[in-house]
Every structure is written in C-alpha cells, then in structure tokens.
C-alpha cells in the first residue's frame, strides 16, 4: 500500500485518512521489520552489547509499533464498526504473538543481562537502569525460563486471552447499545428534569422517532435511575443495565459473557501456574507496589472494617426515609439512587440537578486549565485544524513557564453510540528521545459526559466534573514527563497500584472554594457558585460515603479473591466468588438476576485484573499528598512544583514509594483518606 497513513510518523495521526484496509498491512509490515531488525541487532557480535546498540534500537522499534497501533486501538474504542473490530482483533493476535516472542527470546535476554552485569551499567542513567531492571523481570514473567513445550503453551494462552478479553469488551459495547426504550406517555416521565427530557427528545429525533428515547449510555441511564418517580420504569432500566452481556434480562444470552469470563479466569490461573506462581494475583503483584496478596487483602479488609458501620447507618437511613416519605416499603436495588437523591435534597436542600447550571462545559474546561496553571505554571491552548475522529473532538497543547511545548491532547467529552462506556486516558504518542530530538507526548482524554442539548452548552453534574479532573490527572502524568526513554516515560513502567495517584489527586480541586471559583459559574448569568450552595456541597460531600466506600471495596475484594481462589476444575465459579464477597461485606445484596460482573470491563478486559484494589491503594497516596496542600494553601506554587518535579515528571524511572517520600517527606498514612471520606480513624 503506497501511502498508508498508519506508517506516517511525522506529526499527529492522520485520522481523516485512516481506513480499515490500512490496519492489517501496517501492523504486519512493522512486525516483519521489527523481527528482521532484531535478528540484525543480535547478530552483530563484533562489539559488546550496550545500551546504544541493542536497547536504544529496541526502544525505537517499540515506539514505531506503538504509534501505528495507538490510533487503531483508539478508533476501535471511540468509533467502533464491525469492519474495524475484525481488523483490530486480527492484529491483537499478531501483537500478542510478537510480544510473547520478545519476552521469550533467550538471546535478547542474555544481551540485556550482559549489559546489566557489565562495567557500563553504573554509568547509565537512573531511567536506563530502571528499564533494564524491568526488562529482566518481564523476561521471567514472559516465560523465558520455560522449556519449549511450556513456552508454546504460554504463547497460546496469551493469544487466547487477547481474543477473549476483546470479545468480552465487544459484548459489553454491543449490549449497551443494544437496548433502549421509547416513551410516548409523559406521565411515565414524572420527576425527570427538563435537561434529561430534552436530551431524550433529541435522541429520539436523531433516530426519526416520536417521544422520548432513553438508553443505557450513562447520562441517559443515570437520569432515569436518579429522578424517575415511576418505580417500574426504574426497575426496567436497572434490569437492562445490570444484566448487560449476560444470561439474564431483556437481551438474555444475546451477548453473553458467562463462558468468556470463566475461560479468561481459567487461562489466567494456568498462565500463573506455568510460571510457578500459586495464583494469578501473585503473578499480578510481581509488577506492583504491594508486596504480597496477604498485604492487599489485609489493606482492603481494614478499610472495610472501618467503613461497615458507617455503611450500615447509610442504608438504614435510606430505608427509613423511603418508608416514611416515599411510601416505599421494601427498598429495592433500582430504588437506591432515586431515594438517595431525594434524601440528599431533604437533608441538604441539594441535588446534582441544582448544581448543573453552575458547571457549563466551557467554564469547567477553562477552570480546569486555570487550576493547572495556578498549580504548575502551565498554559493550555486550543489548536485548530487538527484531524480528529469526530466533530466534537478538540485538540490542545500545553506549554510551561518558559514557553516550551510539553504535551498535546485530544479531548472527546460526550457519550454517543459506538463509543465504549466509561472514561479513560490513553497514550497517542509517548515521550521519547532519538538522536537528541524529543518526541512530544500526546494523550487521548475520553469521557462519556452529558452532551449539549439544542443550542445550550453542555451542563455537567458535579460527579462528571470530578471524572474529567480525574482523567486529566492521568493525562498530566503522561504529558509532563521529563523522561526520554519510552519504557519508563509518563505512565509507562509505573506500578499499576500507583498509577491512579495523579488522577485521584486532581479530584480534590473539585471541592475547594478557591478552585470552584474558577470552575463553577452559572451558564446564563456568569455568577460564581454562591456561598450557600458551596456550604451545602461541603455538608453533603460525604453523604452515603460508607456505602460508596463499601461498593468500591466489594469490587476490589471480588477481583482479588477471584484471582486468588479460582480453581482449575472446569466448574463455573465467578458468580459464587462474587456472592461470597457480598455476603462478607455488603450491607445491601442486589437481586439474584444482577450480573454486574458480565460488564466489569476493568478486570476482564481493561488491565485491572487482580489490580482493582489500586484505586483504593492509590487513594491513600493521593489523599495524603493533598493533605500537604491543606496544611499550606491549595494553590501553593512551591508545593505544586514539588509534586510536578517529584511525581508527574518522573514517570516510572524510580519506585513510586521513593518518589512519594521525596514529595511528602514521609511514607503515606491512611488517616487523610478516612478523613476525606467522613470515616473515623478510630472506628
């Protein structure tokens, strides 16, 4: 193919030119070139192996492959089609085979080990040494020590897992897009705010339909679950949402992930056993901060013990309010959000809907950029004329106080069909230096926030604002790195249980009066958030915090116990292990038809396998890091620059605990997290 845009590494991806037929030829060509180049590198034995003649070329080969694959993977997530999906899955198998080959290449392992044992090693930079250490570890985790039969089985398992996890995610996407409800009777929509009705009307009109169309995209689903007075309507939407991609619900068996989950788990456990780990959780921790499975379980259970009484009070409060004020005698799972929103309003005269007019999209974005400027002295500007994958997508650049370009990013804010749910940051281009020239890092920042309705600006809930700040924290970690080696640049090489530190850290500025003055202004009047509303937000900040904490701990304990206890006996176990965790810590058991796990993409297809605990683990770090700003001022520039230099710029070049201590002056303590969550450190 004469002009394949995926093979053009000059500048940004050429999204307007990328077609499905470009994908497979580009990846096949790069893999062939990389294999050939590796043979050349390993055959050049006239001079001793060094960073310059083996590891630097390997970094450059990996960077080219990453730059070609990144837009393909991203388009598959944000603009999915059957044709792109097929090409994506075909290439996943090729990439899995290639990366396993690298990890099991004994000659390459010997070359890296030779460098590690050589006289040149002490003179290498800290980042170079960390890459070598990580490489040697990862060779063992890829099966370089195995005999030939086990190597073949390991490679086969990796390919099967690649296919299964992709299939799992496709099923979730299809199931989310595969159900909606058109409502023509206004009385059924009692309680819904005008903004939700206008959005549903716009959706219906876009599909040439009368009435109001609600679907399982989160802004639409959340509006029903939070505001609809019709309990049967809430039940239908809850059922459709919590049975996605399963054997239950309105689309039972259509995109069922039941077998995929069991197959994924069996293969993960087999892979861990081949490498002589007791279970997949142990294998997972080999690349994380936590030292042992016992340490993780103890950490999660400690948080659960401190939270359970608060959560029991939370659920009792909901039940009492539902009975006394809403005539709901038997509180059901589809009532929880609805009753909680009513109770919040009753107790604090506050709701998400009251706050939304103060969070118009343009002000939130401007306030986010101003917050970053005050903390780190960075300037963020929009850049026009950049090719994107959708008209709503915007592009920005970040410059430091010296006017030096530090990073660029695409911003894709709104929920829409054919786009994966949730919110994430991903790498488009990684910082990397070659021949003295630095490659500027570029990020994708993707959300599924409430889109604009009609001519009005998009109005966000406060929770959506927090989501945006969270993902931008990940983006800053990727874009502000000063490390010139892609293996430990940005988020690369950062242990998974530390990677959430910068993201959760940024969330804190969504709650402070001084920063809210930048973020929150009424979309019609331009007035800042009134003191009265701010005081209500603060009073309600930890509303139902015990329930929220236990919900996240349930997810984390389910994930970790699943990857410890799953047995290779051919029997379905996923539901049983989830039920056991719920019996242990949940204060509200969902109905039997609930199939939450069938759409739990984080652990089955999103990289958080035996790692979901990372959110809470890193939240201890982020809360404690922010407490230093609380001791000084939330925009204290000296403290901000210390966080910038010690955390954001360092990537994975050093161990995260060392970096945290350098910033905070001590090891992290759990007290700040409990205090921020309204949970007593004494409980």
Triad 229, 205, 215: Cα angle to 5°: 45
- Strand partners of residue 407: 398
> Where residue 278 sits, what CATH number does that domain have?
1.10.1370.10
Residue 185 three-state SS:
coil
Give the pLDDT mean for 176-194: 97
Nearest to 617 by CA among 297, 284, 310, 137: 297
Nearest to 630 by CA among 664, 681, 680: 664
Give the pLDDT mean for 254-281: 98
Q: Which single residue is written with the structure tokens 């250490």?
A: 133
pLDDT at 680: 75
Question: 533, 350 in Cβ contact below 8 A?
Answer: yes
Residues 485 and 559 grouped into a single domain: no
Question: 453, 195 in Cβ contact below 8 A?
Answer: yes
> Where residue 133 sits, what CATH number does that domain have?
1.20.1050.40
Number of H helices, E strands in the chain: 26, 9
Triad 230, 463, 579: Cα angle to 5°: 65
Question: 677, 549 in Cβ contact below 8 A?
Answer: yes
Nearest to 339 by CA among 313, 309, 317, 354: 317
Residues 608 and 630 grouped into a single domain: no
pLDDT at 46: 77
Residues 6+ apart with CB under 8 A from 347: 540, 543
How many CA atoms within 13 Å lie on the side-chain side of 113? 12
Give the pLDDT mean for 651-660: 97
Q: pLDDT-based confidence at 529, cuts 50/70/90? A: very high
Each residue's pLDDT tens digit, 571-618: 999 999 999 999 999 999 999 999 999 999 999 999 999 999 999 999
Query: Residue 147 domain-assigned?
Result: no
Query: Residue 278 domain-assigned?
Result: yes
Give the pLDDT mean for 154-180: 97
pLDDT at 106: 97
Give the pLDDT mean for 161-171: 97
Judged against a pLDDT cut of 80, whether residue 262 lies above it is answered with: yes
Query: Residue 167 domain-assigned?
Result: no
Question: 477, 637 in Cβ contact below 8 A?
Answer: no
Distance between CA atoms of residues 325 and 150, nearest Å: 63
Tokens linked to 383: 């850049």
Which of 181, 213, 471, 619 is flagged as catalytic? 471
Tokens linked to 535: 């005081």
- Which conformational region is residue 451 in: left (phi greater than 0), alpha (psi within -120 to 50 degrees), or beta? beta
Tokens linked to 21: 């037929």
Radius of gyration over every alpha carbon of the chain, rounded to an integer in angstroms: 25
Question: 157, 264 in Cβ contact below 8 A?
Answer: no
Give the pLDDT mean for 218-243: 98
C-alpha 140: how far from chain center: 27
Query: Residue 460 domain-assigned?
Result: yes
Domain termination residue (choose one: 186, 213, 242): 242
Q: Write out the residue range of the structural domain in which residue 229 sits.
A: 178-242
Residues 319 and 270 grouped into a single domain: yes
Q: How many CB atoms lie within 10 A of CB 231?
A: 14
Q: How many CB atoms lie within 10 A of CB 294?
A: 9
Nearest to 652 by CA among 434, 482, 503: 482
Torsion sign across C-alpha atoms 487, 493, 499, 502: negative
Residues 607 and 634 grouped into a single domain: no
DSSP state of 207: T
Judged against a pLDDT cut of 80, whether residue 419 lies above it is answered with: yes
Distance between CA atoms of residues 378 and 362, nearest Å: 19
Pairing verdict, β 442-449 and 405-414: parallel
Q: Which single residue is written with the structure tokens 């109905």?
A: 591
pLDDT at 295: 98
Angle formed by the axes of helices 82-103 and 148-177, nearest 10°: 160
Question: 228, 235 in Cβ contact below 8 A?
Answer: no
Give the pLDDT mean for 40-44: 92
C-alpha 656: how far from chain center: 19
Residues 607 and 626 grouped into a single domain: no
Judged against a pLDDT cut of 70, whether residue 2 lies above it is answered with: no
Residue 485 three-state SS:
coil
Question: 78, 143 in Cβ contact below 8 A?
Answer: no
> Where residue 522 sits, what CATH number does that domain have?
1.10.1370.40
Residues 627 and 514 grouped into a single domain: yes
Tokens linked to 272: 């861990």
Residues 603 and 636 grouped into a single domain: no
pLDDT at 655: 97
> Would you list the DSSP string of 286-298?
TTSS---HHHHHH
Distance between CA atoms of residues 301 and 550, nearest Å: 10
Burial 540-565 (b: 16+ CB within 10 A, else e): bebbbbbbbbbbbbbbbbbbbbbbbe
Does 619 qualify as catalytic in the annotation?
no
Residues 271 and 324 grouped into a single domain: yes
Each residue's pLDDT tens digit, 287-339: 999 999 999 999 999 999 999 999 999 999 999 999 999 999 999 999 999 99
Cite the DSSP H helix spans in 632-669. Answer: 637-643, 656-664
Residues 421 and 519 grouped into a single domain: yes
Domain termination residue (choose one: 612, 628, 654): 612
Question: 460, 359 in Cβ contact below 8 A?
Answer: yes
pLDDT at 681: 67
Residues 455 and 515 grouped into a single domain: yes
Distance between CA atoms of residues 73 and 427, nearest Å: 10
pLDDT at 682: 64
Q: How many CB atoms lie within 10 A of CB 284?
A: 24
Each residue's pLDDT tens digit, 364-406: 999 999 999 999 999 999 999 999 999 999 999 999 999 999 9
Residue 433 three-state SS:
strand
pLDDT at 174: 97
Domain total of the chain: 4
Judged against a pLDDT cut of 60, whether residue 17 lies above it is answered with: yes
Nearest to 40 by CA among 28, 53, 27, 26: 53
pTM: predicted TM-score of the whole model, two decimal places = 0.97
C-alpha distance from residue 203 to each of 71, 182, 206 (Å): 28, 10, 5
Q: What average pLDDT does the structure give for the chain?
A: 97
> Would you list the DSSP string of 323-386?
HHHS--SS--GGGHHHHHHHHHHHHHS--HHHHGGG-BHHHHHHHHHHHHHHHH--EEEE--S-
Query: Residue 72 domain-assigned?
Result: yes
Distance between CA atoms of residues 647 and 477, nearest Å: 8
Query: Residue 681 domain-assigned?
Result: no
Query: Residue 624 domain-assigned?
Result: yes
Each residue's pLDDT tens digit, 464-511: 999 999 999 999 999 999 999 999 999 999 999 999 999 999 999 999
* Distance spanning both ends of the chain, measured CA to CA: 66
Domain termination residue (choose one: 612, 636, 652): 612
Query: Residue 13 domain-assigned?
Result: yes
Tokens linked to 303: 């948080």
Q: pLDDT-based confidence at 13, cuts 50/70/90? A: very high
Residues 572 and 488 grouped into a single domain: no
Give the pLDDT mean for 87-102: 97
> Would you list the DSSP string of 219-287?
HHHHHHHHH---HHHHHHHHHHHHTTTSSSSTTTTTT--HHHHHHHHHHHHHHHHHTT-SSHHHHHHTT
Distance between CA atoms of residues 357 and 306, nearest Å: 36
Residues 269 and 238 grouped into a single domain: no
Q: pLDDT-based confidence at 47, cuts 50/70/90? A: confident
Residues 6+ apart with CB under 8 A from 651: 127, 477, 481, 482, 483, 488, 489, 490, 491, 492, 493, 494
Q: pLDDT-based confidence at 436, cuts 50/70/90? A: confident
């Amino acid at each position: 193919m004469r002009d394949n845009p995926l093979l053009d590494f000059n500048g940004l991806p050429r999204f307007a030119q990328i077609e499905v037929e470009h994908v497979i030829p580009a990846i096949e060509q790069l893999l062939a070139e990389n294999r050939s180049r590796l043979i050349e590198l390993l055959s050049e034995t006239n001079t001793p192996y060094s960073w310059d003649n083996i590891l630097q070329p390997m970094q450059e080969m990996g960077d080219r492959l990453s730059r070609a694959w990144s837009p393909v993977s991203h388009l598959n997530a944000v603009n999915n089609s059957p044709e792109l999906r097929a090409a994506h899955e075909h290439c996943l198998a090729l990439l899995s085979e290639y990366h396993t080959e690298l990890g099991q290449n004994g000659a390459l392992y010997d070359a890296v080990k030779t460098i590690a044992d050589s006289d040149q090693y002490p003179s290498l930079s800290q980042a170079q040494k960390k890459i070598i250490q990580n490489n040697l570890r990862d060779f063992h985790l890829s099966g370089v020590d195995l005999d030939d039969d086990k190597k073949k089985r390991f490679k086969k398992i990796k390919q099967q897992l690649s296919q299964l996890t992709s299939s799992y995610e496709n099923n979730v996407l299809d199931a989310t897009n595969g159900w909606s409800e058109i409502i023509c009777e206004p009385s059924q929509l009692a309680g819904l705010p005008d903004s939700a009705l206008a959005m549903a009307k716009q959706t219906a009109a876009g599909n040439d339909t009368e009435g109001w169309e609600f679907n399982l995209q989160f802004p639409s689903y959340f509006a029903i679950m939070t505001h609809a007075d019709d309990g049967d309507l809430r039940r239908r939407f809850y059922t459709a949402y919590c049975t996605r991609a399963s054997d239950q619900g309105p689309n039972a068996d259509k995109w069922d992930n039941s077998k995929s989950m069991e197959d994924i788990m069996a293969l993960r456990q087999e892979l861990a056993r081949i490498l002589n780990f007791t279970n997949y959780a142990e294998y997972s921790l080999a690349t994380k901060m936590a030292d042992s499975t016992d340490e993780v379980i103890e950490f999660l259970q400690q948080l659960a013990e401190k939270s359970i009484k608060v959560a029991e009070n939370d659920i009792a409060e909901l039940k009492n309010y539902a009975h006394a004020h809403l005539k709901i005698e038997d509180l059901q799972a589809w009532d929880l959000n609805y009753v909680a929103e009513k109770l919040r309003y009753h107790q604090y005269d506050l709701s998400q809907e009251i706050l939304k007019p103060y969070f118009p999209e343009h002000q939130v974005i401007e306030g986010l950029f101003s917050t970053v400027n005050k903390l780190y002295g960075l300037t963020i500007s929009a850049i026009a004329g950049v090719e994107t994958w959708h008209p709503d997508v915007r592009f920005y650049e970040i410059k430091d106080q010296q006017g030096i370009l530090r990073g660029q990013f695409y911003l894709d804010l709104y929920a829409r069909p054919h786009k994966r749910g949730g919110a994430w940051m991903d790498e488009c281009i990684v910082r990397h230096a070659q021949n003295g020239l630095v490659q500027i890092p570029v990020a994708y920042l993707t959300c599924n926030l409430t889109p604009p309705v009609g001519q009005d600006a998009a109005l966000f809930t406060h929770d959506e604002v927090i989501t945006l700040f969270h993902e931008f924290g990940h983006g800053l970690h990727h874009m502000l790195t000063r490390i010139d080696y892609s293996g430990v640049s940005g988020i690369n090489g950062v242990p998974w249980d530390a990677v959430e530190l910068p993201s959760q850290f940024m969330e804190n500025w969504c709650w402070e009066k001084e920063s809210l003055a930048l973020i929150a202004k009424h979309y019609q009047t331009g007035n800042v958030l009134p003191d009265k509303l701010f005081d209500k937000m603060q009073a309600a900040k930890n509303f139902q915090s015990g329930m929220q904490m236990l919900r996240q701990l349930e997810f984390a304990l389910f994930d970790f116990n699943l990857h410890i206890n799953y047995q290779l006996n051919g029997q379905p176990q996923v539901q049983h292990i989830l039920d056991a965790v719920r019996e242990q810590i949940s204060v509200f058991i969902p109905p039997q038809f609930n199939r939450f796990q069938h759409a739990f993409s984080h652990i089955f297809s999103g990289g958080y396998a035996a790692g979901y605990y990372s959110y809470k683990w890193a939240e201890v770090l982020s809360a404690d890091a922010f407490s230093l700003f609380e001791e000084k001022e939330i925009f204290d520039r000296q403290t901000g620059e210390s966080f910038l230099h010690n955390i954001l710029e360092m990537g994975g070049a050093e161990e995260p605990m060392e970096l945290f201590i350098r910033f905070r002056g001590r090891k992290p303590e759990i007290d700040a997290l409990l205090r921020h969550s309204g949970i007593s450190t004494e409980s």
